[in-house]
Amino acid sequence: MNATTAALVLLLVVLAVATRWGLSEAIATSVIAMLGFNFYFLPPIGTLTIADPENWIALAAFLLTAVTSSQLSSQARKRAEEAEGGRRQMGKLYELSRAMLMDEARNALAQSVTSACQILELESVAFYDVAAGQMYGSTGDSGITPDDLAHIASSGEPASLERYSMMPVRLGASVVGALAASGPSLTPALLDSLAGLLAINYERVRALDRAAEAEAARRNEEFKSSLLDGLAHDLKTPLTAIRSCVTRLIDIPPRSEEVRRELLSIVDQESRRLEQSITEAVELARIESRELKLHREDASVADLIGMALAQSREENPQRFIVSVPADLRFCADGDLIRRALLQILENAQKYAPPDSPIEIAASAQDAQLIITIADHGPGIGKDELERVFEKFYRGRRVKAKTEGTGMGLAIARGIIEAHGGRIRASNGPQGGAVISITLPLTQELHD
């Protein structure tokens, strides 16, 4: 092998080392290659001395070429590593932004800080909300306090403390908070990207809050309207009937005892209706104020259902189809459960066609008492299955046809939930509404 071929082979070796390991390894290889080239291929061969001065130029050129090539290879490798690191970082930022956008919980802002710390593999992340004056996340034992982050937000200038980097979080021209983070993988670019994502998520959470407030205001207006409509109708109608009958009794005395009794019967009926509306309103107020006290005791399910049926004032008791085991018992406030059952039964009577069957069944399953009351009325709209338990809400299908305040099922739900149970509505396979109650069979007795 002549000197030229040897130089090219050694140069390829140096390039391979530079590509595989880096600059320092390539320089060391270049020096070793230069010495070997001198010893084996430049006269006098077998020594490290150079007889011809032109060979010094060859050696210098060889070393310079080797070092330059290794630098270029090392830079290319470094750029590739940086590109790969940037790609991984972009992937993590995308994952974080996706997690933020999919989180619609009430604590979405705090959760986004936790997600940022986990996904970006940082030691600690904290975000200070200027509007709320609250800090989310943790700064560990660094000594950074919410006041420090508030100062960063007010000054609008980034700062560093120990291993923490802090910067203001901007949304447009306004500062909405301050960010503090630490970790070996934290870079200025990553910190800036994280601040941008938190600012966008901050505005998104605020938009969700505004939408929730608008919906609450709309529901509140709807509630007020329903309340006024229900009370105006359910109080005004019986009062009008009572006043008309009393006025006739006073001004135009009836000529027969039969007419007089009929008028008094109307007064009595409307008075009871008025009393029931007021009683329901008081019960609902007690439930909502959490003043409802339970007096639990061992009770027979069949007896409670029987008492509720007796109080339902149904002229045709034969329409009730009852399927309840006689030995089925549970621990509850019997009087309240009876009232809840009565509210549901009166709803079924009110909205189902007259004389149509109303089916009542009870059974025990997995330490739970399950009671179902099914009618053959118009049923409940799919979008109203949950809303029918809201106070003063009445279904669209029956609102214009049947009188009512919409308090009955709300009262029943309050009583059932106070016992640790749940109540839900559904539609039967042949039509009609089905109200299902689930209650624990046994509970510790207490007042």
Summarize pLDDT for 322-344 with one digit per residue, the tens: 999 999 999 988 888 988 898 88
Please answer whether residues 58 and 50 qualify as being in contact, where contact means their C-beta atoms are separated by less than 8 angstroms. no
Spatial distance between the Cα atoms of 162 and 179, rounded to a whole number of angstroms: 15
Q: What angle do CA 9, 15, 19 make, to 5 degrees?
A: 145
Q: How confident is the model at residue 446, as a pLDDT?
A: 39
- Using CA atoms, how far apart are residues 89 and 84, in angstroms rounded to an integer? 9
User: Distance of alpha carbon 427 from its chain centroid, rounded?
Assistant: 28
The pLDDT score that the predictor gives to residue 214 is: 82
When pLDDT is averaged across residues 25-45 and rounded to a whole number, the result is 79
- Give yes or no for residue 438 having a pLDDT over 90: yes
Q: Which pLDDT score, from 0 to 100, does residue 445 have?
A: 39
Question: Over 80: is that where the pLDDT of 130 sits?
Answer: yes
- pLDDT for res 235: 64
Q: pLDDT grade, residue 374 (50/70/90)?
A: very high
d(C-alpha 348, C-alpha 345), whole Å: 5
The string of pLDDT tens digits covering residues 260-294 is: 788 888 888 778 777 766 766 666 666 655 556 77
Q: What share of the chain is helix, strand, coil (3-state, %, to 5)?
A: 55, 15, 30
> Do the Cβ atoms of 150 and 130 come closer than 8 Å?
yes
d(CA 393, CA 194): 46
pLDDT at site 188: 84
Least confident of 222-226, 306-310, 367-371: 222-226
The most distant pair of C-alpha atoms in the chain lies apart, rounded to whole Å, by: 152
Note the pLDDT tens digit of each residue in 133-160: 888 887 777 777 888 888 888 888 888 8
A 10 A CB-CB count for 110 gives 17
* Rounded CA separation 291/247 (Å): 40
Cis peptide before 44 (omega within 30 of 0): yes
